[in-house]
């Protein structure tokens, strides 16, 4: 999978790219990440300005359409396929595991990060990006959100996690989209808390049953909304369709 990040602050990504899972995925040729500085497409050759005050007044600065649109178009042309364009913005559809799975299907993603008070509306009208928010709060820019998207998506690229099972068993994965079950490692007893006996039994079917029960119980206790959710999940049929 190829991911192109379009940002005013490519350096924010540098230490993240050295993080172990991602670094190995890049070294093994499973993931390619390319960083592009939107400022390189500024029409202002002297100060490389890419933002300006909003028409109609108001606080802050707005990202101008020409450098952003031209940067996206130039980056799209850098590979044989334009890729799926994602704009990181608090106004987008809220990211969840189903959307992560959807994004992981694309062989190429372009992640467009904003700063300042937002994007000139013509960027949306011209580029028609898939707008994604990572939650109902406002960040200083899309960079952290883009890292969240990259981190969640690359886990699903075949071969990136050593053990293929481990992403399938994550919270929100699997047919029921439940939270993950409790995990234990040595020691068997710590400050009076024992590891549940079933996990030491060697009975794999009993362990699987216990884990599924624990996932359901935890989801019920912590995230009832996940059980109540009637939103169809990607790749699954709704009750009505069955
Ligand atoms: N940019 C600023 N806030 C954001 C958010 N919540 N999600 C995605 N991009 C953002």
pLDDT of residue 182: 97
Bridge partners for 69 per DSSP: none
Confidence at residue 117, expressed as pLDDT on a 0 to 100 scale: 86
Q: How many CB atoms lie within 10 A of CB 153?
A: 24
Distance (Å, rounded) from C-alpha 46 to C-alpha 159? 45
Interval between CA 113 and ligand 1 midpoint (Å): 9
Overall fold of domain 2-154: Alpha/beta knot (3.40.1280)
Residue 68 · residue 38 · CB < 8 Å: yes
Element (H, E) at 83: none
Ligand 1 binding residues, C-beta < 6 A: 88-90, 133-135, 137-139, 142, 145
Contact 41, 49 (CB under 8 A): no
Tokens of 229: 């959710």
Asked if 40 and 70 count as a contact pair (C-beta separation under 8 A), the reply is no
This prediction has a pTM of 0.91
135 marked ligand binding residue:
yes
HSE at residue 187, side-chain half, CA atoms within 13 A, is: 5
Kindly give, in sequence order, each residue whose CB lies less than 8 Å from that of residue 207, ignoring residues fewer than 6 positions away: 198, 199, 201
Give me the count of residues in the chain: 242
Amino acid 236: pLDDT:
47
What are the pLDDT digits (tens) for 100-140?
Answer: 999 999 999 999 999 888 999 999 999 999 999 999 999 99
Q: List, in sequence order, every residue forming a beta bridge with 193; answer none if it has no partner.
A: 190
Contact residues for 40 (Cβ-Cβ < 8 A; gap 6+): 48, 71
Regarding the domain with residue range 169-235, which homologous superfamily does it belong to in the CATH classification?
tRNA(m1g37)methyltransferase, domain 2 (1.10.1270.20)
Q: What are the extents of the domains in the chain?
A: 2-154, 169-235
Residue whose Cα lies nearest atom 10 of ligand 1: it is 89
- Beta carbons of 40 and 53 less than 8 angstroms apart: no
What is the atom index within ligand 1 of the atom nearest the CA of 132?
8
| Encoded tokens for 240 | 């009505």
Name residues whose C-beta falls within 8 Å of residue 59's C-beta, 6 or more positions apart in sequence. 117
Average pLDDT for consecutive 10-residue bins of the chain (242 residues)?
Answer: 98 94 96 98 96 96 98 98 98 97 98 93 98 97 98 96 74 87 97 98 98 96 87 46 33
């Amino acid at each position: 999978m190829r991911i192109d990040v379009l940002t005013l602050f490519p350096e924010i990504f540098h230490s993240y790219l050295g993080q172990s899972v991602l670094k190995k995925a890049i070294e093994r040729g499973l993931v390619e990440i390319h960083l592009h500085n939107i400022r390189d497409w500024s029409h202002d050759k002297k100060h490389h300005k890419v933002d300006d005050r909003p028409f109609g007044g108001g606080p802050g600065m707005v990202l101008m359409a020409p450098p952003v649109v031209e940067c996206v178009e130039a980056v799209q042309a850098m590979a044989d396929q334009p890729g799926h364009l994602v704009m990181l913005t608090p106004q987008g559809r809220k990211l969840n595991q189903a959307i992560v799975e959807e994004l992981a299907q694309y062989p190429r993603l372009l992640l467009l990060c904003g700063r300042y008070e937002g994007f000139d509306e013509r960027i949306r009208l011209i580029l028609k990006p898939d707008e994604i928010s990572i939650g109902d709060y406002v960040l200083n820019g899309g960079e952290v959100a883009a890292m969240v998207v990259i981190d969640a998506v690359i886990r699903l690229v075949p071969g990136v996690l050593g053990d293929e099972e481990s992403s399938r068993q994550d919270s929100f994965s699997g047919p029921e989209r439940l939270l993950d079950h409790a995990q234990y490692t040595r020691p068997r007893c710590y400050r009076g808390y024992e590891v549940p006996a079933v996990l030491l039994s060697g009975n794999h079917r009993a362990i699987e049953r216990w884990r599924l029960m624990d996932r359901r119980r935890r989801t019920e206790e912590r995230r009832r909304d996940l059980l109540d959710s009637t939103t169809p999940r990607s790749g699954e049929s709704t009750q009505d369709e069955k």
